[in-house]
Amino acid sequence: MLHVALVLGTRPEAIKLAPLILALRAEPRRFRTTVVLSGQHADLVAPILAFFDIRADIDINLMQPNQSLASLTSRAVTELHRVLGELEPDWVVVQGDTTTAMACALAAFYLKIKVAHLEAGLRTNRIDSPFPEEINRRFISQIAALHWAPTAASARALRREAMPLPHARIVVTGNTVIDALLLGVARLRTAPVPDADRDRIAAFLAADQRHRFVLVTGHRRENFGEPLRQICRTLARLAAADQRALFLYPVHPNPNVRTTVDEMLGRVPNIVLTAPKNYPEFLQLLDLSHVIVTDSGGVQEEAPALGKVVLVTRDTTERPEGLKTGLVKLVGHQPTRLLAAVRSALVASRRARRAPKPAFPYGDGAAAARCVKSLLAKSP
């Protein structure tokens, strides 16, 4: 039996690891699974785990108010080294590019425990964008023995870099975010979860065929400060000029985001600011939306699978596959470009007879099964 420890703390880590945890736990004779919470977004993670019926085994609360990246990193390495040293798993699974995932890979390396990296090989090739994630994921790639690349392009990116582990394997799996999305949306379409915002949007859309719903998210560190202010200013202008569009922005709790957004958008009548949505509620909103304005990585992957238009408020993306579908556009935060992009997406949506066709550049919903299979293959 293989003992697999999975470490997670942020919302996207929980969403993307959930299908893998379920797949591992579905084979109790082959796997012992330990889920370790880093405690980073404890309140955002709990409902996701509840939605997927997952119980965590260990919670190491790493978070302290206003802690620097340096102090988070050092605490994370020390604590994860202690926990993994006690657990002695065969594999540690980390996801993506958070600072805790990077620290966990380092702790596992010190303990000579093999690391499997879910969603490996994403690159912008710019060291400062996204910051510090580009370095975090490159660092994890240096240590991992098993790289689960979501797409062929991410596998190519890994092959281009010298891998210090000679027996490391790269497996193209698709992204488990699509496993979670398809599982979640299918369940929610038959058994919706109650949400007053969703009811309000559904009523607004039912009132007039030309009414459109724009879903906004934004929390990236590189957009803090002036870029976020420019995005907010543009959204306020768009909303004032188009009363047949309703904007909803679930605002990330980070004070760098919340203070600016509340101050700049708090009094615009057709912009609804709301607390971050639990994952199932967010999926219901995605399903209702016509246009999405976001700097989120996960949302760029999910939205095309539901046939939604996504305008990305970043200068770079490590997810170029979505751009090729025509549904995802990189628009940055400069007001003129963002304004024109949202306007033309709304015009196109009102003109179109039917919603755009879904596209699946990030996976077919069976990524977790491929990960499990590769864990059982001869260990590197």
- Using CB under 6 A as the criterion, which residues of the chain lie in contact with ligand UDP when the complex forms? 11-12, 15, 177, 217, 250, 276-277, 279, 282, 296-299, 302
Task: Please report how close the Cβ of residue 252 comes to ligand UDP at its closest, in angstroms.
Answer: 7
User: DSSP letter string over 326-342?
Assistant: TSEEE--S-HHHHHHHH
175/325 with CB nearer ligand UDP: 175
Residue 221 designated active-site? yes
Of the candidates 263, 279, 292, 299, the residue with the CA atom closest to the CA atom of residue 41: 279
Min dist. Cβ of residue 350 to ligand UDP (A): 25
The answer to whether the CB of 19 falls within 8 A of the CB of 368 is: yes
Report the candidate in 302, 301, 331, 329 with the shortest Cα–Cα distance to residue 235: 331
As measured in angstroms, the least distance from the Cβ of 11 to ligand UDP is 5
Catalytic pick from 221, 229, 233, 343? Answer: 221
Task: Output 89 or 121, the one with its CB closest to ligand UDP.
Answer: 121
Q: Is 97 a catalytic residue?
A: yes
Q: Indicate which residue of 79, 97, 318, 321 is catalytic.
A: 97
Q: Are the C-beta atoms of 40 and 98 separated by less than 8 Å? A: yes
Residues contacting 154, CB < 8 A, separation 6+? 119, 120, 121, 122, 123, 172
How near is the Cβ of 202 to ligand UDP at its closest, in Å? 18
The token duo for 107 is: 């702790």
* H runs (alpha helix) in 174-218: 176-190, 196-207
C-beta of 265 vs 375, nearer to ligand UDP: 265
Given the complex with ligand UDP, which of 216 and 372 has the nearer CB atom? Answer: 216
Tell me the closest approach of the beta carbon of residue 301 to ligand UDP, in angstroms. 8
Q: CA 291: distance to chain centroid?
A: 18
Nearer to ligand UDP by Cβ, of 277 and 308: the residue is: 277
Sheet holding 271-274, edge to edge: 271-274, 245-250, 212-216, 291-294, 309-312, 328-330
Known catalytic residue at 133 = yes
Kindly state the DSSP code that residue 46 receives in the 8-state scheme: H
Query: Could you confirm whether 252 is annotated as catalytic?
Result: yes
- Residue 81 catalytic? no
Q: What size, in residues, is the chain?
A: 380
Both tokens of residue 273? 């600011």
Positive or negative: CA dihedral 262, 263, 265, 267: positive
Taking the complex as a whole, how short is the minimal distance between the CB of residue 366 and ligand UDP, in angstroms? 18
* Comparison of 173 and 217: residue with beta carbon closer to ligand UDP: 217
Asked if residues 60 and 80 have their Cβ atoms less than 8 Å apart, the reply is yes
Contacts of 224 (CB under 8 A, 6+ apart): 256, 257
| Active site residues per annotation | 97, 119, 133, 219, 221, 252
